[in-house]
Chain A
Amino acid sequence: EVQLVESGGGLVHPGRSLRLSCTSSGFNFGVYAMNWVRQAPGKGLEWVGLIRSHRFGATTEYAASVKGRFTISRDDSRAIAYLQMNSLKSEDTAVYYCCREADRYHYGRLTFDYWGQGALITVSS
């Protein structure tokens, strides 16, 4: 069974940093791109960024709203994806979901077939 479990959420002051982890199981983590999607309270979904598999250089892409502040990385030996968030702002307050990008040859581009349960980040003084 595929499972994605986010951890590391909580309350953080503006300007500070926080790192989320997404621990994966039930599939060959190393061959999949992993994405982060967030949802502000009562709002819609917003794509945050992705990290490709090492086959594709483990390259990353980010939404304009977080580029330069957020960094996504991965540890394939532990099947964990990370979201390092720096210079946090109040508008970063959201539930952050880790998502597996489905095999694009069968599901197209940036289709998310599995989601974690989400981790709440609250940025407030």
Chain B
Amino acid sequence: SALTQPPSASGSPGQSVTISCTGTSSDVGGYDYVSWYQQYPGKAPKLMIYEVNKRPSGVPDRFSGSKSDNTASLTVSGLQADDEADYYCSSYAGLRNLVFGGGTRLTVL
């Protein structure tokens, strides 16, 4: 994948976990158009974060995003059982239009 994510992450209920998404200056580092999607098995992805750190209506404020240089991050605070899912980052990439990360499986222990 064009963006690099760790394949897995985990945390106990109530804890915080951060998932990274590393790209280049041509995508993550070049634009503030990073989104994060949550996907349950067999289901369509759901938008959780857009423009690096903005939450759509209805997404809990336990989900937050940030970016530093070529790496974006998604932090899930106060982990809950139903946060267990796959998380994908995406970034606008100019002429390549859009690139995704390989996805991170979040496990709530």
Contacts and interface: CB of A to CB of B under 8 A. Distances in A.
Interface of A: 35, 37, 44-47, 50, 61, 63-64, 97, 102, 107-113, 115-118
A69 B12 CA distance: 46
Contacts of A46: 100
A115 B46 contact: yes
Contacts of A113: 47, 56
A50 B1 contact: no
Given A61-B97, A109-B92, A117-B44, A44 B50 contact: no
A116 B45 CA distance: 9
Interface in B54-101: 54, 56, 88, 90, 92, 96-101
B97 A107 contact: no
Interface of B: 1, 31-33, 35, 37, 43-47, 50-51, 54, 56, 88, 90, 92, 96-103
A61 B98 CA distance: 10
A108 B47 contact: no
B77 to A, nearest CB: 23
A97 B88 CA distance: 15
Given A44-B88, A47-B98, A109-B31, A115 B56 contact: no
Contacts of A47: 90, 97-100
A26 to B, nearest CB: 15
Given A44-B1, A44-B103, A45-B90, A108 B98 contact: no
A47 B101 CA distance: 11
A32 to B, nearest CB: 15
